[in-house]
Structures are given as C-alpha cells and as structure tokens.
Amino acid sequence: MLDFVRSELGLVQDVCTPTDGAVDRPRTGSECSPPSPGRLLVKMTTHDVTGYLRRRQLFVNESRAAVFCNVFCGEGGLGSHLAKQMQRYLPCAITKRHGRQCEPFAAGLQANAGNREQSTGGLMDKKLKNKVAVVTGGSAGIGLGAAKRFAAEGAQVFITGRRQSELDKAAAVIGGDTHIVRADSSKLADIDRIYEVVKAKAGRIDILFVNAGFYELGRFGEITEEHFDKTFNTNVRGLFFAVQKALPLLSKGSSVILVGSIASIKGFEAFSIYDATKAAVRSFARSWIVDLRGRGVRVNVLSPGHIDTPGLSVLMTDEQKASVLANVPLGRLGTPDDMGGVAAFLASDDSAYVNGVELFADGGVAQY
Ligand SMILES: NC(=O)c1ccc[n+]([C@@H]2O[C@H](COP(=O)([O-])OP(=O)(O)OC[C@H]3O[C@@H](n4cnc5c(N)ncnc54)[C@H](OP(=O)(O)O)[C@@H]3O)[C@@H](O)[C@H]2O)c1
C-alpha cells in the first residue's frame, strides 16, 4: 500500500515527518523511515496537518486526494477532520477504504457542494487548477516567473534546466506540486526523457511553456559556426522538437506557449543570429495552428522585451540596461513576474479563443 501511495501521491516524504515535531521541512526518504503513513500522520495534530496541506497546496488533483483519503480517513478523528478540511479545496471525491465508503468525507463533500464555488483563497478560485504544466528552462528568469505563477494558479508544474543546483533552488521557490527534470533542451534524447517523466507522473500535458533559449552577441562578419549552431540548436531545433515530441501528450484544450522575443520583428546590432531564431519561432506558431487543426491545441508566442533576468545581466551591464530604459514607454525593465502573468493568461481559458498570435510583453518598446 505504501508504494501505491508513494507513486500516486508522490508526497509520502512530505507527509511523513514529525520525528522532531516540525511539519514544514520536506524530508528525505531516509529521514522518513515510513512503514505506515497512518502511524506517522497521527503523530501530528490535526491543526498541523491541515495547515501543512493548505500551505503546500498538496491536493490539487482529485484522484490524489481520493487516494489520500483511502489511506487516512479511517484513522479515528483525524481522518474525518482532514476530510472536512479537504472538502474546502476539492470539487468532489468519493472514496472507499477496504470496500467501505468513507462516510464523513463523502457526506461532507455532498453537503458542501453548493458552497464550494463561493470559497475564497481555495483551489476553486485558481485558473489552472488540475492542469499539468511543463516549463523548459524553468529554473531561472522568465521560465521561473512562469512556473511560479502556474503553480500559484493551481497547476502541477514540471521544470527543466541543465543545472541541478538551480533546479533544486527553483523547486523550493515554486513550492506546490513541482517536479524537476534535468535536461538540455538542445539535446533530443534529453527532450525524450522529459516527456517520459511527465508521462509517468502526470500522463498528459495541458500547458507547454517552451522557454529555454540561448543568447549572446555575435558581430556580423565574425560569426562563428559554433555561435550559429548553439543559438539555432537551442532556440529553433530544440524548441521545434520540444513541441513535436510533446504532441502525443498534449491534451484537448491544451495551450502551447513559445517564448519568442521582440527580436522577431526588430533588428538588433550584433544579434542577427538570435533575431533570426526568434523570427523562426514566430513562424512555427503560424504553421502549427493549421497543422493542429481539430486537435483543440492552441499555440501562441509570448514575445518579451527587455526583462531583468540572470541571462540579461550577462548580456548587458547596468549602464546598458539604464540606457535601454529611455526607449521603453513604460520606463522600466520587465520582470519575470510580469511574464508569469502573461503566461498564465495564455495558459488559461481566459485566452480560449486566442490562437496563433504573437503577444508582445515589452512595455511598448517595439510597438512604435
Ligand atoms: N531576458 C530577456 O530580456 C528576454 C527577452 C526576450 C526573450 N527572451 C527569451 O526568454 C527565454 C528565457 O530567457 P531568460 O532571460 O529568462 O534566460 P535566463 O535568465 O538565462 O534563464 C534561462 C533558463 O533556461 C535554462 N536553460 C538555458 N539553456 C537551456 C538549455 N539548453 N536546456 C534547458 N534549459 C536551459 C537555464 O538553466 P540552465 O542554465 O541551468 O540550463 C535557466 O533556467 C529565452 O528563450 C530568451 O530568448 C528573454
């Protein structure tokens, strides 16, 4: 049973904690020594457990909640109390334990069905509740901004990147139901691995945010083969295969968001290769909406202007950033959080009839 719970919930190590009384610190497997999840849970007070679940937004998905209740709802008063707390976050879940219906949970859910839509702050209010999101290059910058917002809106998020240390830090910041896949988006075998993990853990993709990209200056006349290949391999080849390989997993109604750039429509000095890659990205969206006709999959391009990310700080000094501001009608650089808001719009049903567009989020810099 424990293996089943571990695979279904993926959170046994989160829940089995309190050898030292603290509830909030995620534990490693070896710290848990968890022969019985029920035994471990009853060491906590109901207040601890319900607060923990709420803060971690663990029950974003009905089947996971149902499994949880299967295991725990028979544990005396604690199970019933948990069930009542959980009903505030779930649309419905009828569970059975050893063939018997877990009455307090089921009855509580039915009794409160009418009130749930009015709850504030719960998952019912979240735009991406129960969605599965994949964010390539999700450990920093724009990708991290999007991943944070997706998670805050209730999505289960998978982030990718090449550096494990950054992925670990990002997952801690994002919180919620976040999974890490260490992968280089310019390598096709790594892309395959991303989707193997997603398929095994979530079975589908509702939001694909293809963000991993590469940029560096390259003066025309001095462009090297390496510069050309690295830029195209990540921004065009990697992005193309990230979407093509995701096709079997994309659900009906899913949203594919390609991260472009104002460089798709502008010429920047010593940036011709990068500019061309982003023009290619924009072009893909135009073709794919036709290729995907009838699949119910939307494809849009989010094209940022100057966004203050770790990557931009490698490209530009603070003085250069300041000089750029003179051209930005809004008078500031964009932030990863700004991009997260636009990404959430394109990911959600708020943009259900938006397909094939390039949405510029640039403070106006490329719009006059
Ligand atoms: N910042 C801007 O002003 C701006 C403007 C327009 C468009 N964009 C576009 O926005 C996207 C993100 O830019 P950013 O400024 O947020 O970059 P960033 O701050 O450098 O962050 C890049 C993220 O992507 C990951 N990454 C980079 N190369 C990768 C690869 N080959 N495979 C997997 N992950 C990779 C990085 O982690 P690892 O290094 O650990 O892999 C990191 O998590 C890019 O497509 C860029 O072209 C940025």
pLDDT in tens, 170-185: 999 999 889 999 999 9
Query: 368 C-alpha to center of ligand 1: Å?
Result: 26
Helix (H) and strand (E) counts for the chain? 18, 9
Neighbouring CB atoms inside 10 A of 157's CB total: 30
Query: 164 C-alpha to center of ligand 1: Å?
Result: 15
Query: 143 C-alpha to center of ligand 1: Å?
Result: 7
pLDDT for the residue 136: 98
Q: What residues does each domain of the chain span? A: 2-119, 132-361
| Residue 134 to residue 132: CA distance in whole angstroms | 7
| Residue 278 to residue 292: CA distance in whole angstroms | 21
Query: 141 C-alpha to center of ligand 1: Å?
Result: 6
Q: Which two tokens stand for residue 339?
A: 């991009």
Of all protein residues, whose CA lies closest to atom 17 belonging to ligand 1?
311
Q: Which two tokens stand for residue 31?
A: 């710290």
Are 56 and 31 spatial neighbours (Cβ–Cβ below 8 Å)? no
**Where in the sequence numbering do the catalytic residues fall?**
274
Query: 126 C-alpha to center of ligand 1: Å?
Result: 27
The more confidently predicted of residues 15 and 281 is: 281
Q: Which two tokens stand for residue 7?
A: 């695979």
Confidence of residue 37 (pLDDT cuts 50, 70, 90): very low
For the chain, the farthest-separated pair of C-alpha atoms sits apart, in whole angstroms, at 75
Report which ligand 1 atom has the smallest distance to the Cα of 139: 43
CATH architecture of the domain with residue range 132-361: 3-Layer(aba) Sandwich (3.40)
Total residue length of the chain:
368
pLDDT for the residue 44: 37
15-41: b (≥16 Cβ within 10 Å) or e: bbbbeeeebeeebeeeebebeebeebb
Residue 301 amino acid letter? V
Is residue 41 pLDDT above 80, yes or no? no
Distances (CA, A) of 196 to 10, 11, 41, 76, 249: 16, 20, 32, 39, 10
Confidence of residue 122 (pLDDT cuts 50, 70, 90): low
CA 10 to chain centre: 16
pLDDT in tens, 51-107: 545 555 444 444 444 444 444 444 444 445 555 554 444 332 333 333 333 333 333
Q: Between vectors from CA 123 to CA 170 and to CA 43, what angle results, nearest 5°?
A: 75
pLDDT in tens, 190-213: 999 999 999 999 999 999 999 999
Residue ranges around ligand 1 (CB below 6 Å): 136-137, 139-143, 160-163, 166, 184-186, 211-215, 234, 259, 261, 304, 306-307, 309-312
Report which ligand 1 atom has the smallest distance to the Cα of 141: 16
pTM: predicted TM-score of the whole model, two decimal places: 0.73
Report which ligand 1 atom has the smallest distance to the Cα of 183: 33
Of all protein residues, whose CA lies closest to atom 45 belonging to ligand 1?
213
Report which ligand 1 atom has the smallest distance to the Cα of 260: 7
- How large is the C-alpha radius of gyration of the chain? 23
One-character DSSP codes across 293-358: TTTT-EEEEEEE-SB--HHHHHHS-HHHHHHHHTT-TTSS-B-HHHHHHHHHHHHSGGGTT--S-E
pLDDT for the residue 183: 98
Q: Which two tokens stand for residue 40?
A: 């471990």
Confidence of residue 362 (pLDDT cuts 50, 70, 90): very high
